[in-house]
Structure 1
């Protein structure tokens, strides 16, 4: 099922989603795929070349009985934060609202994102059932939960202030990716509020964080920080550091192994 209209947002483009269903789709768990691209680029069909070269993650998830939903969100040069999170949550609510018609299990949802998409995936997991209208939004179907039962992140920024500093970004620069996301000048308070690590709570679902030790764009410390904070709150977080891997797992000795461990985590979380 492709190009499903999830929401019409006045003044913006319509939000769409592609939903890939397994052959045996009765009560299938769902994984929501959230693309990266610095919040300002990419689309729901974007998959890193390194992942595609290793056989992709969608095919394996489908073979294990998962449905996979490729999520659209408005990019940062279209609308500011937290619009991106609102749109991801809108897709989750839409699938849950129509779960019976689709043949999927509304109680077994997971989110998987990479890079900027991992930032959104982490936020989605950390705000499951939070009741925060500011972070939930009112896009598309409302009155339905956007909760997920597991979250997997690949090399995502979890604390935006050190992320900006690590990239040498001038917070007063109106043409930076952080300014496009948060407005200009970028304030430390805005960076803090938009950082997943500052929203960790004991009600979060199980997490998986995977990161390359040689990532030149987002330091592996981001996944380590999130894992430490989650564990301090009593939340399961599996942390896997990939030796020598840069962003997108470029240079990893075995990208397929990364995909496999991610799928196994999701299977365990959903008792597949």
Structure 2
């Protein structure tokens, strides 16, 4: 007596659920007038951890609100998605809660770090986050046609690279502005901008080499591909670039390079070099730190108002 062969296992059942169909996390109330949805899954990359995003939303709004997408720093190697740096950790309410109170939504996404994947995985993740935010805009009450990217340090690099490569992608958020704080923008020229002995473009252990999968001097094509200065075109959104004039980690010349590239393409970036400020705004007065935050919020509101023109 023969027995029928067992039915093949339905391997499609092993696939993760579509993040667009997952329920959103319950809302917390970290401050008056603020809703916080922490840890919403926006992507499940193959062979990697699920990627999540925190969402800081106004407690109530008359209609869809503009969106800021904040990209954390940490040399592409570490970092927390909701950390703006040591100068802001004592703020009560915190910076993102302040923005939500002012009528701006803030999304803080994870992305794969260099211990998990190399470039372009990080900007691929941010592009996926923008598409997820666009797909969930109605649920979140956000207007993704008014989206400003903002990042500090390595996050500023990723924000700029994403703004310059994803802003016209269909089916996703429309990037109407970008803010960078003390960001590297030209990995191929970083050694030239650093003081002698500060950065070795042939060293495989630098953070930049870990991002590129090899030293910038040995991977020039990857270094150029990962550099915002080489991605500037006529459709670039408005930029606000803030950098400490005395930055000992990422030379201020890096922000100057991006501003120059934008000007050569007919844009009018707002470049501010802050005297006495080092990386992470070390050395800057409390008033100066507050001014950086206020200028960023004002820029985001202006971009939301004019749809990224200017």
**TM-score, L = length of structure 1:** 0.90
**Cα distance change of structure 1 residues 231 and 77 upon mapping to structure 2, 3 Å threshold:** same
Q: Which residue is equivalent to 2:172?
A: 145
CA contact (8 A) 2:144 2:173 kept: no
2:144 and 2:174 in contact (8 A); partners too? no
**Partners of 2:208 and 2:146 in 1: how far apart?**
33
Structure 2 residue corresponding to 1:70, chosen from 108, 111, 134: 108
> Compared with structure 1, are the counterparts of its residues 128 and 9 closer, same or farther at alpha carbon in structure 2 (3 Å cutoff)?
closer
Q: Which residue of 2 aligns with 1:170?
A: 200
Separation in structure 2 between the aligned mates of residue 228 and residue 220 of structure 1, nearest angstrom: 13
2:147–2:173: 8 Å Cα contact kept in structure 1? Answer: no
Give the secondary structure class of the aligned counterpart of 1:162.
Answer: helix
Distance apart, 1:189 and its partner CA = 2.4
In structure 1, distance between residues paired with 2:44 and 2:189: 35
Q: Structure 1, unaligned stretches of length 5 or more?
A: 132-142
Match of 2:183 in 1: 156
Q: Give the counterpart of 1:58 among 96, 101, 108.
A: 96
* Matched residue, 2:33: none
Distance 1:192 1:176 in 2: 17
Structure of larger gyration radius: 2
Alignment of 1:90-101 (within 5 A): 90-101=128-139
Q: Please give the residue correspondences for 1:1-272 in structure 2 after superposition, counting only pairs within 5 Å.
A: 1-25=37-61, 26-53=63-90, 56-129=94-167, 144-164=171-191, 166=194, 168-186=198-216, 187-253=219-285, 254-271=288-305
Q: What does the per-residue CA deviation read over 1:238-264, in whole Å, with 9 as the maximum and x for residues that have no partner? A: 111111000011111321011111111
Contact 1:22 1:63 in 2 (8 A): yes
Q: How many matched pairs? A: 261
Deviation per residue, 1:29-61 (Å, 9 max, x gap): 110010001001112122211133466431331
CA RMSD of aligned residues (A): 1.8
CA contact (8 A) 1:128 1:204 kept: no
SS at the partner of 2:147? strand
Unaligned runs of 5+ in 2: 1-36
TM-score, length of structure 2 as denominator length: 0.79
Larger relative CO (CA 8 A, sep 6+): 1 or 2? 1
> 1:220 deviation in Å?
1.0
Q: Which deviates further from its counterpart, 160-169 or 186-195?
A: 160-169
SS in 2 for 1:158: coil
